[in-house]
A and B are shown apart, each in its own frame.
Chain A
Amino acid sequence: MIEGRTGPWETVIGLEVHAQVISKAKLFSGAATDFGAEPNTQVSPVDAAFPGMLPVINRFCVEQAVKTGLGLNAKIELESVFERKNYFYPDLPAGYQISQYQQPVVGRGKVALDMPDGTTREIGITRLHLEQDAGKSLHDQHPTLSYVDLNRAGVALMEIVSEPDLRSAEEARIYLRKLRSILRYLGTCDGNMEEGSLRCDCNVSVRRPGHPYGIRCEIKNLNSVRFVMQAIEYEARRQIELLEEGGVIDQQTRLFDSARGITRPMRSKEEAHDYRYFPDPDLLPLVLDPEWVERLRAELPELPDAKKVRFVSTYGLSSDDASVLVAEKETALFFERAAGHDPKAAANWVMGDLFGALNRLGVGIDESPVSAEQLGALIDLIADGTISGRLGKDVFAEMVATGTDPAAIIEAKGLRQVTDEGAIAAAIDTVLAAQAEKVAEYHAGRDKLYGFFVGQVMRATQGKANPALVNQLLKEKLSGK
């Protein structure tokens, strides 16, 4: 809810996400799809729309779209139709994009969002359809000419359209993260926004709470979550100001200027495209075998929502912790491998020290210098008393730095915990004898000094003394037993 000059406004957002399908070959040609290849090296005559060339659907891309639909709890349409969306642009060689319009391959579905307040919000999916990507126009290579790179032309995209169910930039962020997580679990899109494999158009409108939807504007081609949020916030405020000044919203397509953080109209009404959609006569309707769809459904991997429920019930994790751990498939996998005898400890280690270390190193969990098995071993060594929890942190730091097994570090550095009561008692005696004054103060009522004595004892034992025994024996000594 945004407070305007004249009262509160509600922002209404629907997102159209363009997700590049993970596939070795393009949607309608055999050409490769590797990112970062030399310009115009991954282009077949079909992609370049040479005369007489015809599209042939790539079955694997269809499989990826169907899997995604199943992952979004959506209806799989057993018959769908490819249509041509006609417009002229040099990076669109045929003069039309093959897309799906009236009959998409995936119909209605839903995505559950975990909200910060612990509740769950369900966001409707309107549809998912398959389409070709366009090529890339390069306007910065020459003072007066534009260059065209067709490597991306014809690469398969899934356009995933949400219902106008989102109510804030923050919800849009949570939705995008969840969608990305599902796609990555399914292995249907790598979700890499920097490389453009996930791009987003935002439909934004505002209304008085409880009123019908307002007129929306579409902000095109946002390539980071941050820009999505900035664009939504700017656009909502722009619309509210306009309405509060008595203006009307023009339904239009806008672009986000990331340098200035504003949106501005992309084209005027006169320049609005008439895409002249019609069924592509080069392609037959896409007909799916229901048994094949059911087989894909049965083979779907465990998705974040189900995994979260399992983490809570099987490992006794809190719902919040489980949410964090399942967000990325790799994190969940790491956690489960490290969980061993003490899943809660493993969760804490992963979300605390490990995330901290990975952040510092700027690497993902799949490149972690500490393996899940090594972390599990460390947790076991702490649990069985081989080292103290405090020394465990030092050992972990060493593991991050060197990638060595925890047992080897403990051995090499002689960090094995001292559990010999005699040795600890002797150390306590030495400390108390040396700190007679403080002992007196303690007995006079300065309870806080207890911690100081613990610290001194641990120092005297190079931190290796079993903390529980130190506690027990120190208390006995101080109370004069």
Chain B
Amino acid sequence: MSDGSLLALTLAQARDGLVRKSFSAREFALAYNDAVEEAKVLNAYITPTPERALEMAKATDARLARGEGLPLDGIPIAVKDLYCTKGVLTTAASHILDGFHPPYESTVTSKLWQAGAVMLGKTNLDEFAMGSSNTTSWYGPVENPWHRQIGSPKGDNRPLVPGGSSGGSATAVAARAALAATGTDTGGSIRQPASFCGIVGMKPTYGRCSRWGVVAYASSLDHPGPMVRTVRDAAIMLRAMAGHDPKDSTSAPVPVPNFEAALTGDIRGLRVGIPKEYRVDGMPAEIETLWRQGAEWLRSAGAEVVDISLPMTKYALPAYYIIAPAEASSNLARYDGVRFGLRVERGTLDEMYEVTRAAGFGAEVRRRVLIGTYVLSAGYYDAYYLKAQRVRTLIMRDFAKAFEQVDCILTPTAPSAAFAIGEKTEDPVAMYLNDVFTVPANLAGLPAISIPAGLSGEGLPLGLQISGRAFDEETVLRVAEVLERAAEFRHVPSFVAGDRG
């Protein structure tokens, strides 16, 4: 098989091809190592690990030869550089973690390696996962492999953002420089970049995947999850990532179903909710149209589409931008120059702290640490943090009520397609608005998936989002797969690795 056709395989296809020995894990890893190299211009990776990929592929081939293949054997995976990987530089895309090589492996990546997956490298992200454009990385912005069509209204071919914070993972998967990738989603950081890059990204239920060994941004909102090419791939990868972890007190002691088995294609009689509050001002008509189209597809497949109300939706974003920075301000206190990472020496302890953190953290991280410190401080706690927590409870109640009526909820993933690098960086609030449809599921801890459903007028991918009940990823995946079949999204970005003719 040519590199190009190898790289075009989905995870499910590659899994079967490896088992049938149509190609070896080594061939596959070599093709992907080349792809990583070829896609370097997109800056998707901070640290490629080609040697490790080959070592792991060798072990896969040995297992496959013995007929002892594992669920993800030989699948080349990129790891968001927020997951600690033993002995491999882990940066969170921050200067402050310079030279940090964790002496431990995160639970989720351990599970992936135990399932036979092959590590391609560590992908770029917004610094400490704070951002929606992957432009806040110390290692530079990531480029979206998609470009606006020449002659489209904005009429330019400027590099676009991949979304964020898991922008490197999204770009790698879209550009075929990784078959799959891990992401983390605190306010939309898996789903929004998946939407921008035309791939599938899933945030499972809070507690489904362990956070142990994942650098914390906002602990009560951080969700590890898969970023892949298809819904089936998401089901396969999520199964390997999920499971109770006694090292994470917030990990849920519930069994992990065979998610792939849930993809029956049958959604007859399922009730799909359309929340009226998601028709926000300024959302492009084409997104509204696509949303309606999505509802129509599901209705044609036998689902019942129901109008619902989630009245607290408009408070989700403000509540998120209080709770997340509050937790972040505390979570990031450990980066103090004392034990690991960057230290800028100064005469006194306080000066060392100040100069190290000023040098180590970028503007967006500093902004959120400041906001978080402010909302937790004496005299402001009740008005901000406590009130935001109350809003969070009300949002959960909204969803609980909605799920008495419906089995899942269909919305757009993001209010726009990918924008140009530098386009919204001057206005943090405009940037925060990217998360308006994704944040509620984080606040409520519910599973949600984004699938590519169509193209914008400029030829850029647009995603639709299915959210479901807690620990009912199966319904979410089942509906998403039906949507995926109906949408028949076959478009390919302008840059894909292995496309050398």
Closest B residue to A45 using CB positions: B104
CB distance from B443 to the nearest CB of A (A): 13
A95 touches B97 (CB 8 A): no
B334 contacts A51, C-beta separation under 8 Å: yes
Residues in B neighbouring A88, C-beta threshold 8 A: 333, 336, 353
Specify which chain A residues have a CB less than 8 angstroms from the CB of B385 in the assembled complex.
278
Secondary structure of the A side of the interface? loop
Chain A residues whose C-beta falls within 8 Å of the C-beta of B211 in the assembled complex: 52, 54
Q: List residues of B whose CB falls within 8 A of some A CB.
A: 83-84, 90, 92, 97, 100, 102-104, 106, 211-216, 218-220, 246-250, 326-327, 329-330, 332-334, 336, 338-340, 349, 353, 373, 376-378, 381, 385
Docked Cα-Cα span, A86 to B330, in Å, equals 7
Return the chain B residue nearest A56 by Cβ.
Answer: B249
Report how far A277 CA is from B378 CA in the complex, Å: 9
Given contacts A95-B334, A96-B330, contact A50 B248 (CB under 8 A): no
* Contact A274:B104 (CB < 8 A) given known A88-B336, A95-B330, A95-B336: no
Knowing A52-B216, A281-B218, A282-B219 touch, does A90 contact B334 (C-beta < 8 A)?
A: no
Residues of chain A within 8 A (CB-CB) of B334 are 49-51, 93-95
Which residues of chain B are within 8 angstroms of A284 by Cβ–Cβ distance? 249-250
Instruction: Tell which of B102, B330, B340 touches A278, judged by Cβ atoms closer than 8 Å.
Output: B330
Are A49 and B339 within 8 A (Cβ)?
yes
Residue of B nearest to A94 (CB): B334
The answer to whether A282 and B330 touch across the interface, beta carbons within 8 angstroms, is no
Q: Quick check: B212 and A54 within 8 Å, CB to CB?
A: yes
Residue A307 lies at the interface, judged by CB distance under 8 Å to chain B: no
Are B338 and A93 in contact (CB-based, < 8 A)? Answer: yes
B250 touches A276 (CB 8 A): no
Contact with B along A274-296 (1 / 0, CB 8 A): 10111001111000000000000
B349 contacts A90, C-beta separation under 8 Å: yes
Which of A48, A94, A282, A283 has the most C-beta atoms of chain B within 10 angstroms of its own C-beta?
A282
A391 within 8 A of B: no
| A interface with B by C-beta (< 8 Å) | 45, 48-57, 84, 86, 88, 90, 93-96, 146, 148, 274, 276-278, 281-284
Shortest CB-to-CB span from A267 to chain B, Å, is 13
Find out whether the CB atom of B249 lies under 8 angstroms from the CB atom of A52.
no
Q: Please name all residues of chain B whose beta carbon is closer than 8 Å to the beta carbon of A50 when the two chains form the complex.
A: 102-104, 334, 339-340
Contact B333 A95 (CB under 8 A): yes
> Which 10 residue pairs of A and B lie closest in terms of their CB atoms, listed nearest first?
A95-B333, A281-B220, A281-B219, A276-B376, A49-B334, A52-B213, A51-B215, A52-B84, A274-B378, A90-B338
User: How far does the Cβ of A284 sit from chain B's closest Cβ, in whole Å?
Assistant: 6
Determine if B102 and A52 form an interchain contact, defined as CB atoms under 8 angstroms apart.
yes
Residue among A54, A55, A277, A282 facing the most chain B CB atoms (10 A cut-off): A54
Cβ–Cβ < 8 Å partners of A283 in chain B: 249-250
| Chain A residues with CB below 8 A from B377, complex form | 274, 276
In the assembled complex, the Cα of A471 lies from the Cα of B339 at a distance in Å of 82
B-chain residues with CB within 8 Å of residue A148 when the two chains form the complex: 338
Measured between C-beta atoms, what is the minimum distance from A426 to chain B in Å? 85
Q: Given contacts A45-B103, A51-B334, A276-B330, are A282 and B213 in contact (CB under 8 A)?
A: no
Chain A CB within 10 A, most for which of B106, B213, B249: B249
Q: In the docked arrangement, what's the CA distance between A66 and B97, Å?
A: 40
Return chain A residues, CB-CB under 8 Å to B249. 54-57, 282-284
| A54-B207 Cα distance, complex, nearest whole Å | 14
User: Could you tell me if B330 and A84 are in contact, using CB atoms closer than 8 angstroms?
Assistant: yes
Q: 7 new A-B pairs (CB below 8 Å) besides A49-B339, A88-B333, A278-B330?
A: A52-B104, A52-B213, A54-B212, A95-B333, A277-B376, A282-B216, A284-B249
Bound complex: CA A276 to CA B370 (Å):
13
B332 to chain A, nearest CB (A): 8
* A56 & B376 in contact (Cβ 8 Å cutoff): no
Instruction: Note all chain A residues with C-beta closer than 8 A to B218.
Output: 281
- Collect the chain B residues with CB atoms within 8 Å of residue A45's CB: 103-104
- Please name all residues of chain A whose beta carbon is closer than 8 Å to the beta carbon of B340 when the two chains form the complex: 50-51
Q: Which of A51, A95, A282, A283 has the most CB of B within 10 A?
A: A51
- Rounded to whole angstroms, the CA-CA distance of A284 and B100 in the bound complex is 29
Query: How many angstroms between the C-alpha atoms of A282 and B331 in the bound complex?
Result: 10
B330, A51: Cβ atoms closer than 8 Å: no
**B353 / chain A contacts, CB cutoff of 8 Å:** 88
